[in-house]
Structure 1
């Protein structure tokens, strides 16, 4: 029963990384509440939420906290428009910031009391694009950099009762990544091989790698960690690209 178990809210629960996070927390005995527009079998309770609607996100999170002992919030939902600086439509840029950044604050607004009472944790899923990026992904890269700034500030504001941290994944083997590689057509396999070769650990990450890092930061094993970003990229951003 959820009232006897710790509960976690996971936004973006239906994606590849989201499902892995949900499985990890369920395996650890959590009651998992998934926020997404799409239902998935890895949650105990699914709620259809538009993560761009800040007031709705806050109110739904508050409602969940009235029914479950929410001790962890994981913000994984994200949108990724592909356009260069100065070319992203304003509406798309604003939606990216609402979903990728402001939604994290809205989740905390709705769950802060429960998190504080249970000495809980907030973990957000960032991206290597917050630190080193590519062409034609300006709004997404901007939002992830802003999200990590939010983590540092929120960690101070919510301390000492609530810890706030981020996981910064690199390339992760999900359907979304494969969709991106599909644009290369016949060159997709070769480019995948290049990605592996340019990653010091020699492989593309798995969703379970990210889920393990998220769970660690939410657990008592990370009891003295807050305001930090844990990089899960196989060493990719440590490698000097010009060499």
Structure 2
């Protein structure tokens, strides 16, 4: 991988998919900045990776707040002098149909899932333009393409990111690449949260879902990390304005 010494920010980088990406990118030799509002786990992860000889820093960030994102970019440039790539991975989920939501829940989901990517792009693009090169990878979801029951707000937020990927690629052509990863069912804390209230144990639910996925297993965070690393690297130089679906074949399933 062509990531050695590249400076990569991972938002939501302290748990789930983000943690796997932070670890994998650091192991490939990137200089990783973990951005998260989970201070304790973020600092612990950075310390663990540094103990293994990796160049990793943690920067506390509330990605829903423009000032916090702007400060993240400033701090990264102070630390490393440049920003080669950003993995916009921070995300939240809320269960329900449109009739179940109020403005507070709408704002929470859209601010973290969508507005955070706007702020990130707004404040990293001037840095990348000065360098003449940069890559943004955005975590979307197969929920952008499927109407999952009781996922109306989450699905809407992820669909917005798919459009933003294309717009960024066109508006900043020539020096910026933008790509997405669309995870399917991945074994993360967020997935476990979606199982709350069911009358089956989580592991039994997971086994039922795994049997329905064509590869016959749930995805693991490292599956996504491998794709993110590839997209951030020079080997993916002709992948732009599009997303890679990582769902084990879920979208290929017929509706019966």
Normalised to the residue count of structure 1, the TM-score between the two structures is 0.92
Partner residue, 2:107: 94
2:6 maps to 6
Q: Which runs of 5+ in 2 are unaligned?
A: 47-55
Number of the residue aligned with 1:138: 152
- 1:139-191 C-alpha deviation (Å, 9 max, x unpaired): 11100000111001001112110100100000111232223334324354443
1:54 corresponds to which residue?
Answer: 66
Q: How does 1:69-84 map to 2 (within 5 A)?
A: 69-84=82-97
**Secondary structure in 1 matching 2:186:** coil
Give ranges in structure 1 of 5+ residues lacking alignment. none
Q: May I ask how many residue pairs the two structures share in their alignment?
A: 239
> 1:172, 1:219 → 2: CA distance?
23
CA RMSD of aligned residues (A): 1.7
**Pairwise CA distance, 1:75:** 0.5
Name which of structure 1's ranges 172-181 and 196-205 shifts more when overlaid on structure 2: 172-181
What TM-score do you get using the length of structure 2 for normalisation? 0.87
Contact 2:93 2:190 in 1 (8 A): no
Alignment of structure 1 residues 178-193 onto 2, 5 Å: 178-193=192-207
What is residue 218 of structure 2 aligned with on the other side?
A: 204
- Is 1:129 equivalent to 2:143 in the alignment? yes
After TM superposition, list the pairs within 5 Å mapping 1:22-37 onto structure 2. Answer: 22-37=22-37
* Matching of residues 218-233 of structure 1 within 5 Å: 218-233=232-247
The answer as to whether partners of 1:168 and 1:232 remain within 8 angstroms in 2 is yes
Establish whether residue 111 from structure 1 lines up as the match of residue 124 from structure 2: yes
